[in-house]
């Protein structure tokens, strides 16, 4: 990808242009915590670009200030992606997301597993110390299925067209194509966090 030319403000900081480096989300989406600036990362475990983006995002989110709420949100436009979203929220419900997030990414992108049904996903959790009964209880739970529905609605509301993409403050959507690179996606996100912070003051 060719990175778009970045506009430089007079003070030397990089400024980004709506429609050129990011898009407006209309209507704006409600964040889960209105007191914070929400950054949503839309991803899919089977997406190689997301797998490459993950180390960058993991590092970046560690240093985010208190007023920023980071929210990973699985994207889904077919039934298999819904299963993967269910796996994400089941891992969260079981308290093993820190481990399983990387494990699922690696299973699909390194080991080339399709994880196309519940049994394959259960086996992966079992191989990482989660009892099958616990997995099944979480995987089919009301809490998990409602989070999957919410994630689907969030992605539709943001009008994402691929993964990885980001949404800042429910108002701005960032894609690799417009930002120019994955590293630039994070730069655009930082710019939009600042923009939102200034607007709130």
Q: What is the pTM of this model?
A: 0.92
DSSP conformation letters of the chain: -PPPPPEE-TTS-EE--BTTTBEE-SSPPPPS-TTSEEEEEEE-TT-HHHHHHHHHHHHHHHT--TTEEEEEEE--SSHHHHHHHHHHHHHHHTT-HHHHHHHHHHHHHTS-----SHHHHHHHHHHTT--HHHHHHHHT-HHHHHHHHHHHHHHHHHT--SSSEEEETTTEEEEHHHHSSHHHHHHHHHHHHHHHHHHH-
CB 164 within 8 A of CB 189: no
Q: What is the pLDDT along the chain (201 residues), one digit of tens a residue?
A: 444 444 444 444 578 999 999 999 999 999 999 999 999 999 999 999 999 999 999 999 999 999 999 999 999 999 999 999 999 999 999 999 999 999 999 999 999 999 999 999 999 999 999 999 999 999 999 999 999 999 999 999 999 999 999 999 999 999 999 999 999 999 999 999 999 999 999
User: For residues 188 and 14, is the Cβ–Cβ distance under 8 A?
Assistant: no
């Amino acid at each position: 990808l060719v990175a778009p030319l970045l506009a430089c403000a007079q003070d030397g900081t990089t400024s980004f242009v709506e429609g050129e480096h990011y898009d407006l989300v209309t209507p704006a989406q409600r964040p889960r915590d209105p007191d914070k600036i929400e950054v949503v990362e839309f991803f899919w475990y089977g997406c190689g670009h997301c797998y490459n983006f993950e180390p960058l995002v993991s590092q970046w989110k560690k240093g985010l200030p208190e007023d920023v709420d980071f929210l990973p949100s699985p994207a889904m436009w077919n039934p298999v992606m819904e299963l993967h979203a269910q796996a994400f929220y089941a891992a969260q419900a079981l308290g093993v997301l820190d481990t399983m997030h990387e494990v699922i990414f690696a299973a699909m992108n390194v080991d080339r597993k399709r994880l196309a049904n519940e049994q394959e996903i259960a086996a992966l959790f079992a191989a990482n110390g989660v009892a099958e009964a616990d997995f099944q209880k979480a995987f089919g739970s009301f809490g998990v299925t409602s989070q999957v529905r919410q994630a689907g609605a969030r992605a539709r509301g943001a009008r994402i067209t691929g993964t990885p993409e980001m949404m800042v403050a429910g108002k701005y959507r960032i894609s690799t194509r417009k930002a120019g690179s994955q590293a630039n996606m994070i730069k655009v996100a930082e710019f939009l966090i600042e923009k939102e912070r200034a607007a709130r003051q």
